[in-house]
Amino acid sequence: MGIIIEKKLMDAGYRMLGDNKDMDTLIQDIIKTKNIRYLKAIPFIIYKYDLNVNSIQTRIKDQELFNIILNITARIFTELNINKKIPKYTGKKSKLGLKYEKEFNANYDEFKNEFKIQLRMDKKSDLLIDKQKIDEERNLQYNLSQLFTKKEKQIIKRLQEDKPISRTDYEYYSRKTRKKLRSIINLHDFAKNTYTKTPKYSEELYNLKKDLEKWVLNETKIENSIEEFHILEDKLIITLKDNSGEGSTNLWKLKKIKDKKLLQILKKYQEHDFS
C-alpha cells in the first residue's frame, strides 16, 4: 500500500490536485497504513481543503488513531495561528489508543515541521528552486531522524546556524552527538560500498526457523519464537522469546531430534542469529 499512498500524495495530495472526495478517500487510506511517514501529511490536507472531519471519522475504522491525528492538527493550527476549527477529542482511550497517543505525540515536532514545509511549498509552488530546497530539507530531516534524537537534532540545528548552546547541551553534544558525527565521517566509504550490495535471501534458513519452531513447540507445548541457536558438541542451545516478549535459553541433546533433514541443516549451519 505504501507505493500507492506515495503516488496519491504526489499526484493528488501534496500537489493538491483533485476534489474533496478524493481527499476524504486519501485520508482513509493513510490512516490504514498507520505509518508516520504518511500520517504527517494529514494536517496539511485538512488545512488545504474544507473537509468535514466529522464525516470522515464515521467512515474510518480506526477512529482512535484518527482522533490522535486530529488533536495534533488542532495543536499545529493553534500554534501557527491558523483560524480553522478542528474538533478535539478528550474521551477515554483504549490501551491501543494510549499507545497511539504516546507514539505520535512524541513525534509532534515531525508533524509540525512537515506541515510548515508543505505550507511554504504551497505558497511558492511556482518556484522550482524553492521546491527543490524543500525536498532537500525534508530529506535532511528524515535522514537525521534515523540517526539522532530530537534533542540532538535541535543542537545540530543551532550549530548549523552558528548559534550558542547551553553548557548542558554542550556536554550532551560532546558525549554523544559529536561521536556519532565522527562515526558518520569515518564510515562514509564503508556505508557507500555496503549500500550497493544486495542482501542474499536464504530460503533454507527461513524454513529452518519454521521447522525448528515447530519442533520446539512439540517439545515444550508453548509457542515461542526462535531468536538464535548454536550447536556445542552434542548439544543444541536455543534462545527463545515467548508471546509476552520474555526470553529464555534452552538446551537439548541433538539426538532428541529425529527429523534427519532438520538435523542435517542444523549441523550444516552450526549457529545462526534470527533476531
Q: Read out DSSP for 128-154? A: HHHHHHHHHHHHHHHHHHHHS-HHHHH
> Is 193 a domain residue?
no
| 95 plus 175 within the same structural domain | no
> CB of 9 within 8 A of CB of 26?
yes
C-alpha cell at 217: 513447540
Average pLDDT score, the chain: 83
- Regarding whether 98 and 6 lie in a shared domain, the answer is yes
DSSP state of 61: S
The residue out of 115, 137, 172 marking a domain boundary is: 115
Q: Report the pLDDT value the prediction gives residue 68, as an integer from 0 to 100.
A: 87
Beta strand pairing call for 271-273 and 224-232:
antiparallel
**Alpha-carbon distance 273 to 227, whole Å?**
6
* Mean pLDDT value of segment 239-243: 85
Question: Would 189 be classed as within a structural domain?
Answer: no
State which of 115, 137, 157 marks the end of a domain: 115
Domain assignment present for 127: no
Segment 27-43 shows an average pLDDT of: 87
The span from the CA of 28 to the CA of 31, in Å, is 5
Residue 75 lies in a domain: yes
Residue whose cell numbers read 555496503: 194
Which one-letter amino acid corresponds to residue 210?
K
Tens of pLDDT, residue by residue over 1-24, are 444 555 666 554 454 444 555 788
Q: Do the domain assignments include residue 71?
A: yes
Q: Of 71, 98, 115, which closes a domain?
A: 115
Say what the pLDDT of residue 174 is: 92
Kindly indicate the confidence band of residue 130, based on its pLDDT and cuts at 50, 70 and 90. Answer: low
- Predicted pLDDT at 2: 44
Span 179-236, pLDDT tens digits: 999 999 999 889 888 888 888 878 888 888 899 989 988 888 888 888 899 998 889 9
pLDDT tens by residue, 172-182: 999 999 999 99
Strand partners, 83: none
Domain contains 29: yes
Together in a domain, 105 and 24: yes
The pLDDT tens digits of the residues spanning 42-52 come to 899 888 887 77
Q: Which domain holds residue 74?
A: 2-115
The answer on 161 and 94 residing in a single domain is: no
Same domain, 104 and 22: yes
Distance CA 38, CA 31 (A): 8
CA end-to-end span of the chain, whole Å?
Answer: 26
Both 24 and 80 in one domain: the answer is yes
Rounded to 5°, angle at Cα 141 from 111 and 116: 40
CB-CB contact of 262 with 211 (8 Å):
yes
Residues in the chain: 275
pLDDT at 5: 56
Based on the fold, state whether residues 12 and 97 are members of the same structural domain. Answer: yes
**In terms of domains, do 10 and 89 share one?**
yes
Q: Identify the pLDDT of residue 13.
A: 43
Looking at the fold, whether 37 and 68 belong to one and the same domain comes out as yes
Domains held by the chain: number: 3
Specify whether 38 is located in the same domain as 110: yes
For the record, the C-alpha cell of 30 comes out as 493513510
* Residue corresponding to grid cell 493528488: 12
Look at residue 33 and tell me if it is in a domain: yes
Pair 15, 95 in one domain: yes
Residue 93 pLDDT > 80: no
Task: Classify residue 39: in a domain, yes or no.
Answer: yes
pTM for the model stands at: 0.46
Residues 172 and 239 in one domain: no
Percent of the chain with pLDDT over 90: 15
Amino acid at 246: E
Q: What pLDDT is recorded for position 120?
A: 81
